[in-house]
Structure 1
């Protein structure tokens, strides 16, 4: 494993870079790239305000992936899942068919490792470099250039990728070959969502307890976690926007993929499977579009409880 700080890298200044995916985190990534002096190219996005922010800061907007590909030497992907990554990269109008030879595609999506390996093989046929570089932390930290990147690539490509990642990442960790970054991200996210399921039920169990006191107690011991602290802040109405990922996305992109990965290797994960069932129950209750801390509310609860 190789870990590097962005302060040690020469940065992305002057590079002609593409960005596909102007969601909340993708917009933050794009703003950091622009702030570091990159020439940024994005695809038209009619559904969100992210593209408007980026073009307002000087990004160049294109109407197709093929058009964007002709203007860049590297592309950062920040998309919902592997399905969207495959749609963007493959086919006669996709990135792979139109990027210049030796271009780099950095997939910062939480993608599925098997898909990543297949895409890397397709990229190689076009003389391109495809690496996995999923990121952790929030959209706000993306805009501040303070994400963490978990990189799967060969040794020769990693330094090239790190120069791009340094514009929006505080820590860049090379964890192995292609696919290892996405595998480790799924392990990380599965652990996070497993903790979230336990924290949610602990908060429900503490219904007659002063939650602020419980938080103070937990903060002094090994049980302490950022997930629990955010749940408590939400339930005490201190931080209504805590952990803003939706329950549906957390289930689909994180814990469900983690259980699937385990099943493919015949590994038994009964605790994670039980946590995944917690998410499925919330989806069945119609909570899919609510944020993660709503796991801690029972079906009869409507509002966070006050101090």
Structure 2
């Protein structure tokens, strides 16, 4: 569903919605810029890194010192956080969203979170008169800023039109994939494949350099066949100095994503030995102190 609009009575007119954003990292900042472009009254809780918060406040966002203070000013909160641990931390506890948001409010988790945590949070939110849905996104921070992300939504049929309307301000494509938790399941399957390919592409690049095969020549050959893929192309572009900023996701976040995918498989008794091996490679890179580097550095380690 691409930028579909809804006539639902749940959806306020554009410009009337007060939306909170928690997680002003690179992706969250892009999301916030898109929301502001659509005349949203945006309220933020900054990260430790001030860059995103300064950009957003400079563009008109209202900054709050605490989550509880932000929660009292909005009816919708969008989360863009590293993992379920951070999502749980901002939702639960005496200073969290669940205590301080008004009844009838909505929380949209655009993070890559663990589905069981998502479902548990949704149940606790419902007990407090709130709605909690998952809407993990794909694509880059740059595409977030242009309003070109893809979102996969886990929510009730009744709530989806409102969720879609909010997401349409920063997403090109919004897909409803089932009840709460299904969005995060789909994202983990997707990211499992992505990071699995990344692990293989990294080792192929290392192998090529180790046996004196020219990477540009290898890229030319791969580009002509069905093996071609964007991650391999990005890694080669990085290694030959053409694209130093490509695939800006960190190795630590990549390791978390594929670890979640492997954990989900284990919980469902699905054997995934290849993905487990890829997860081990990424975890090893994190243990070696490379977690803060971007994913293409995996091909040069």
Q: Could you give the per-residue CA deviations for residues 136-159 of structure 1, whole angstroms, max 9, x where no partner exists? A: 111111111111001000101010
Q: Does 1:270 align with 2:273?
A: yes
Q: Structure 1 pair 62/288, CA: closer, same or farther in 2 (3 Å)? A: closer
> Which stretch of the first structure deviates more once superposed, 4-13 or 17-26?
4-13
> Which stretch of the first structure deviates more once superposed, 40-49 or 135-144?
40-49
Which residue pairs with 1:132 in the alignment?
A: 134
Q: Structure 2 matches for 1:88-127, cutoff 5 A?
A: 88-127=90-129
- Equivalenced residue count is 294
> Which stretch of the first structure deviates more once superposed, 264-273 or 161-170?
264-273
Q: Does 1:286 align with 2:289?
A: yes
Shift of 1:73: 1.2
Which residue pairs with 1:251 in the alignment?
A: 255
Q: Could you give the per-residue CA deviations for residues 73-97 of structure 1, whole angstroms, max 9, x where no partner exists? A: 1110011111111111112211111
- In structure 2, list runs of 5 or more residues that go unmatched: 8-12
Shift of 1:26: 0.3
The answer to whether the Cα contact below 8 Å between 1:20 and 1:42 also exists between their aligned partners in 2 is yes
Which residue pairs with 2:59 in the alignment?
A: 57
1:41 partner SS = strand
Match of 1:5 among 2, 14, 38: 2
Matches of 1:289 and 1:54 in 2, distance apart?
A: 24
Match of 2:242 among 229, 235, 238: 238
1:5 partner SS = coil
- Aligned Cα RMSD in Å? 1.5
1:111 partner SS = coil
Matches of 1:155 and 1:9 in 2, distance apart?
A: 13
Which residue pairs with 1:305 in the alignment?
A: none
- In structure 1, list runs of 5 or more residues that go unmatched: 299-307
> Which stretch of the first structure deviates more once superposed, 127-136 or 44-53?
44-53
TM-score computed with the length of structure 1 as normaliser: 0.92
Match of 2:264 among 261, 265, 268: 261
TM-score computed with the length of structure 2 as normaliser: 0.94
